Structure formats: structure tokens, C-alpha cells
Amino acid sequence: MQYDEYSRPESEERQARKKRNKRRKRIRKLIVAVGFILVVALFAAPIVVFGVFRVRTIHLRGHMPYTNAELYDACPIKTGDNLIFADYEKAAKVMESKLPYLTGTVITRQFPDTITITGETASEKVAIELSSEKTYLLLDENLRIMKTFGYIPETAVVFKTPEPKSREKGEILSFNADKDENGVDKNEKLTDYMLEIISELEDEKIFGNIDSVDLTDTDDIRIVYDGRIMMKLGSATDLASKIELGAQVIEQENQISSIETGTMDLSIPKKAYFEPDFFDDGTQPEKEEPVTDENGEVVTVEEEQQDENGEESTEEESTEENSRSYYKTYVEDSE
């Protein structure tokens, strides 16, 4: 059978063109559908986010020394607030500033409508005497002001410092500027020193045996252990390593006698000099009365140092003997 040019089957090119047109139509329909979905989502998303994910339930966990009503009132995130956009970290800090005996506060969210507040009871770690009021300012281990009290709690250590700048509950301890002749503020790093000392005493597990920490002179920092050993740290340089070495010396001395008194000089890095039976509280020693002989004449130091054979010992020998008799030297382990 013969076909003329108008009755021949469609060419392959025409068939390919039809397929392309059908594919374009499908793509256009898909684009329209996706666009429609995006428009709907654009308008629906805010409704879902702001309307659906709202706080409706607040759970409390942990040992917090406040009533549920006090905790709910202190929390800036309230029922009805948006669950997604709430600032949980900031809210926890606000709660601790309002409730000074609250610590370790963490606020978490659980979709679709719940937040959980977890916290613990803060401990009174620091007591600063307010000389003008004869009371104590109590603080936690982060130097957050808890309250003013009439006596020192068992859990607190007395820190001798300048007068605090503020006494408001929930605030972090700070001091007024005290500039020296060179314009350097002597109190600028005082709170940093306090935090470092507290942390290291806790790490060495001797914080509970500390009576006081004297920071009135940051070039002569002193810590009293168990009312019987004075730890002289010197300047604020290498506080952590000095306290660590001091704790090691205390452990060794306690093995000899748990009631031994003395003064430990830790002012030289990596070395400790322990002088038993001498508690140096920083006061000036009493002036000794001059020694006189039977004729009332003053006996010199050289005459006193004569040995049993009547021979005079040299000053160097006397000094070495005195050092051997009164001082124990400890050196930090380099390993």
C-alpha cells in the first residue's frame, strides 16, 4: 500500500515534540502546586508556632528550698508564653538572682507545651564580716550574695576583705576601686582570687577545715587551717599550686600529729617551709627583755652562743643549726 506525503505516519521529531510539551505541562502543574503549598505554609507557620507551641505546663525537679508559688513567680517564663522563642538560659539566671538559695538552675522545654525547671539548694560558703554593722555577708561558692546574718554558719569560711560594694541579695560580690600610687586598682582581681582559692581548697578536700582566708593584703595572703596551722601564700601568683603543695604538707604533718601547730611558708613557688610550734598571725612579736649577767651587764648574742667547752660558735653555724632545729622543707613533686 502506498501513502502520499500527507498520509504518512508522524515523524519521530513530531512525537518527541509532543512528549516535551507534556513534560512541560507536568512541570508547570508541579510548580503551581509547590507554590500553593509554600504560600499556605507561609501563612500557617506563624499560626502553628505562635498559637500551638505555647507553655501550658511547668514541672519542678530537684531539691529547691522554695515553695512552688515562689518558684513560679520568680521564673520569667509564664504559661502562655511561646515555647520556641523563650530564652531559657537568661530565665535561669533571673531566677537565681531573685532566689539566692537556688543554684544549678536549668530550664528545658518538651514539645508541645511543657517546660521543666531543675535546681538545687545553694550552700553558704563565704562569710565576709561587715565591720560597720558587726554582721556577716553570706555568699555561695560563686560569690553570689545570699543574705546578711549575725553569725558564721558551719559551712562557711571567713574571708577577710575590704568592705563589699553591694549587699543586695542575688548580686555577685564586688568591691569599690582602690587605686595605688600608680593608678592600679588593688581590688580589680580580688573576686578572681577568691574564686580560685575556694575552688582549689574544695579540690584538695580541705575547705571544711579552713577557718579563715585573709585577703586584706594580696601580697601577703594567709589561710588558717584547723585553727592551728597558718599557711602563708605570699602574693596571688600560682595560688592553685601553692594550696596544692600546702595540702600535701598538712597531710604529712597530720600523720605525725593531728594537733600540731605551726606556720607554713608557701610564698616561694614549689617549696614549703614548715615551722612547728610557731603560729605566725602577722602581729609583731613582743620585744624580748635584754639578758644580763650577775653584775647587771647586758650579755651579747655572741656570748650566749658559747658552747659547753667555752668555745664561741660562729654566726653561720648558729644560723644553720637554728634552721635545722625549727624548719622542715618540702619540695613540690615535679612529675
| 153/125 Cα distance (integer angstroms) | 9
Amino acid at 223: I
DSSP class of 188: T
Question: Could you give the angle at which helices 239-256 and 190-203 cross, rounded to 10 degrees?
Answer: 40
CB 208 within 8 A of CB 242: no
The pLDDT tens digits for 18-68 are 777 777 777 877 787 777 677 666 655 555 555 568 999 999 999 999 999
pLDDT digits (tens, 9 = 90+) for 59-100: 999 999 999 999 999 999 999 999 999 999 999 999 999 999
Please report the pLDDT score of residue 151 as a whole number. 92
For residue 298, pLDDT over 90 is answered with: no
For the chain, the maximum distance between any two Cα atoms, rounded to a whole number of angstroms, is: 163
- The 3-state DSSP composition of the chain as helix, strand, coil percent (nearest 5) reads 35, 25, 40
| Mean pLDDT score of the chain | 82
Whole-angstrom distance, CA of residue 50 vs CA of residue 52: 6
* pLDDT for 237: 94
Model confidence band, residue 313 (pLDDT cutoffs 50, 70, 90): very low
